[in-house]
Structure 1
Amino acid sequence: MAGSRGFERPRVARSARRNGQSVSARHTLALAGTAHALHDGYTDLIYVLLPVWQTEFALGYGMLAALRGLYAGVMALLQLPSGWLAEKIDGRIILAAGTLLAAAGYALAGVTGSLVGLSAALALSGAGSSTQHPIASAAVSRAYGDSARGPLGTYNFTGDLGKAAIPALTSLLLTLMPWRGALWLMAVLGAAVAAAILLLMPPVVRANPSRQVQKRAGRDRGGFWVLFAIGVLDTGVRMGLLTFLPFILAEKGASLPMVGIALAMVFLGGAAGKFFCGWLGSRVGVLMTVLATEGGTAACIVGVLVLPLVPLFILLPLLGLMLNGTSSVLYGTVPELTPADKAERAFALFYTGTIGSGAISPIFYGVLGDWLGAYWATAATAVVALSIYPLAFALASRLADGRKAA
């Protein structure tokens, strides 16, 4: 009996440690997801404010586009430095500081009376938001270890919740108060999230480089760049299609309100795709999931081109699911192709590439649309989606775990 009790104690201790690690991981995911929702909401909040600023500062469309580009450009450019900094300092501290900086940018936008001040405020907020993607992604990856793909899909999904909630909340506030007061409230919200991250988020686990090298011995490091290429092409397909979708819907007889509803259906399907496909990838593997989502995307794009308006509306949520589903699988694979102590840097590089593709690809497809017309340019996005197939097979051959690859 005594021997039995002695045998049970280590098992109980190990179980307690596992339970503690699970609770810590869930806290990390919850706060990383909250940060993702806030920062992505801040990014898309600009769209709500552009008409307000046009009236307030007498701005033309070109300057309004430049303001949006300033925020996104600063955020993209500073992601790599943010990732490098987080390798030296606890990522929780950097993430909290970045969140507070992003909130301060919107607070400054609420008090400025000039275009220069507004530009500085957006640059400041974009700089703060540059910390979120690389650090929060790496925190979730380290918290869950080899089981991170599904939680990273959940983390990816929370960004879409923020994109829907924060602009909608601000739109409501704009009906109740001046726009400056609404921005100050959004800044207070950001400061509260920053405090929660600093006080409640577990420290970001530091990786053991020697253990990671041993664990991933023999892995082809070129796999990350194959993954990067897939991410760039996948983002380009999504942004290219969304560029032309409103015009195709209008040509099929959709009114302006119907176009808005159609886009909402695509975005809702996209949010579901981010949540569902991250977990699907952890069960059936990267290869099968990417083949399904990219093939499904190409098929849905053909449906967009050939279906009448009513069946097309029915197809739109599925289109959104396929368009966005690949991204969660890709984000969840970054840790598998990167030394654990370089996760922040890898996520920063990956997000910089996808954000850059999102900025550049609409220009490319727009020029193609001017040359060939909207329908043929949209068809080109389906071809690009299918061109990801060989890259998916190449990526599968570079993943260490064949079960996850296929």
Structure 2
Amino acid sequence: MTDTVVIPASQCSARRRSLIAGCSAHAVHDGLTDVIYVLLPIWQAQFALSYAQIGLLRGAYSGMMAVFQLLASRTAKRWGRTPLLVGGTALAGIAYLMVGQATGLVLLLLALLLGGLGASTQHPLASSMISDAYEEGGGIKQALSQYNFSGDIGKTLIPGLVGLLLTVISWRASATLLGLLGLVAAGLLWWLIPTPSRAPATTKTARPSSGIGSASGLRALICTGTLDSAVRMGFLTFLPFLLQAKGAGTAGVGLALSLLFVGGAFGKLLCGYLGARIGMMKTVWLTETTTALLIMAAVYLPLNGLMLTLPLLGLVLNGTSSVLYGAVPDLAGAGRREQAFALFYTGTIGGGALAPVVFGSVGDALGAPVAAMVLAAVLLLTLPLAWWVERGMVDER
């Protein structure tokens, strides 16, 4: 199982290019997705939006991304991953060009729906492209860890830079620059992705994977990831408003998100190693319990205190997803890795899409602090689910 495999130089180059392309796509798409949090307070003030409408805007992008991921995975088998991934990235860029021209809620909503459609291609196609590239010579988990880390780099850099840009230029000009970034990234991906990766699925998925094929464990894993993602997206929606209530300005909100995402990036690496050492269930219990406590603390801490805790909060808030994501190949049955990834992402991103709408309504009725406390309580539901995932792994061995 662990024999060393000699890989030809040409294949090594293709593997590296696939990894760089996948990581680049992840960074750009995650950055374009999460920069919305910086823009939400501006849109609320400009267009007089309620929390529920703010949640609708955030949920529209994530909802389209979740709904069309399975379709993207299936369409790629016919048309190839490269055209679909490049086209989706370009579409996300075009969406932000439209955002820069929006004059009201309806046009913003349409643009974000289009952006979510383009973003739906990234997760299932880039992750399966990297998995296929590294399957023959080994190192899938390490490559996917780098892929996960790159997404948080995008979440850190792009919202932070836009937060700074907003102190100099208008939000419309910032959105236009984001659109151009998406178009440039699409061109880079078209050049970077090696030609053999366009149609690897039929040859590589036919081989048995190393997964144990636990259907019950995979379902429990998807439920755990869905709740974790819902709380994460819900909290990120309310965080700018909690910060503003404590006296933070636009640049402060951008800095806060950068601190959160820097912690999240390191959390994906640290929690991955921690999960390998103490097990998935114990790691999830540790990270989710800590996250719930820190979310409750965020409601009561002063601005400076909250800023100091944000890196640690980001570490546990995002770190859980890395542990859950790493369990997907272990629970996927033979030849079903790509489908398992698509199902997992559909559940987690779908939960993240619904959360801003549901908890936005709670925020309208009871206020943002109470909604944050509800989020912390919901997160504790992941603890018994993590036990179920662990049991599914044990039962199938």
Aligned pair partner of 1:61 in 49, 52, 59: 49
Deviations 1:53-97 (A, max 9, x none): 789xx7331566655443333222222211111233332221112
Give the SS at the match of 1:15. coil
Which structure is higher in RCO with an 8 Å CA cutoff and minimum separation 6? 2
The 1:180–1:332 alpha-carbon spacing in structure 2 relative to 1, beyond 3 Å, is: same
**Structure 2 gap segments, 5+ residues each:** none
Tell me the CA shift for residue 231 of structure 1: 0.4
Asked whether the 8 Å contact 2:58–2:356 carries over to 1, the reply is no
Identity of aligned residues (%): 44
Deviations 1:21-77 (A, max 9, x none): 55433322221111112112222344555677789xx73315666554433332222
The 1:148–1:259 alpha-carbon spacing in structure 2 relative to 1, beyond 3 Å, is: same
Q: 2:151 maps to which residue?
A: 159
Q: RMSD over aligned Cα, in angstroms?
A: 4.1
Q: 2:6 maps to which residue?
A: 15
The 1:256–1:345 alpha-carbon spacing in structure 2 relative to 1, beyond 3 Å, is: same
Tell me the CA shift for residue 249 of structure 1: 7.2
Tell me how far apart the structure 2 counterparts of residues 370 and 51 of structure 1 sit (CA, whole Å): 15
The 1:396–1:25 alpha-carbon spacing in structure 2 relative to 1, beyond 3 Å, is: farther
The 1:68–1:286 alpha-carbon spacing in structure 2 relative to 1, beyond 3 Å, is: closer
Q: 1:212 maps to which residue?
A: 208
Tell me how far apart the structure 2 counterparts of residues 357 and 83 of structure 1 sit (CA, whole Å): 19
Tell me how far apart the structure 2 counterparts of residues 113 and 245 of structure 1 sit (CA, whole Å): 25
Aligned pair partner of 1:100 in 90, 103, 116: 90
Query: Does residue 352 of the first structure (1) align with residue 346 of the second (2)?
Result: yes
Tell me the CA shift for residue 333 of structure 1: 1.9
Structure 2 matches for 1:305-316, cutoff 5 A? 313-316=307-310
Asked whether the 8 Å contact 1:153–1:277 carries over to 2, the reply is no
Query: Does residue 70 of the first structure (1) align with residue 60 of the second (2)?
Result: yes
Q: 1:187 maps to which residue?
A: 179
Residue identity in the other structure for 1:323: L
Aligned pair partner of 2:326 in 314, 325, 332: 332
Query: Does residue 230 of the first structure (1) align with residue 224 of the second (2)?
Result: yes
Asked whether the 8 Å contact 1:150–1:279 carries over to 2, the reply is no
| Count of residues paired in the alignment | 385
Q: Give the structure with higher Rg (CA).
A: 1
Q: 1:199 maps to which residue?
A: 191
Q: 1:7 maps to which residue?
A: none
Of stretches 259-268 and 160-169 in structure 1, the one that deviates more from structure 2 is 259-268
Of stretches 159-168 and 304-313 in structure 1, the one that deviates more from structure 2 is 304-313
Residue identity in the other structure for 2:75: L
The 1:263–1:198 alpha-carbon spacing in structure 2 relative to 1, beyond 3 Å, is: closer
Of stretches 382-391 and 151-160 in structure 1, the one that deviates more from structure 2 is 382-391
Query: Does residue 276 of the first structure (1) align with residue 276 of the second (2)?
Result: no
Residue identity in the other structure for 1:348: A
**Structure 1 gap segments, 5+ residues each:** 1-10
Tell me the CA shift for residue 118 of structure 1: 5.6
Q: 2:125 maps to which residue?
A: 135
Asked whether the 8 Å contact 1:149–1:279 carries over to 2, the reply is no
Tell me how far apart the structure 2 counterparts of residues 247 and 114 of structure 1 sit (CA, whole Å): 21
Deviations 1:284-312 (A, max 9, x none): 54234323322332444465578787666
Asked whether the 8 Å contact 1:102–1:126 carries over to 2, the reply is yes
Asked whether the 8 Å contact 1:149–1:282 carries over to 2, the reply is no
The 1:246–1:128 alpha-carbon spacing in structure 2 relative to 1, beyond 3 Å, is: closer
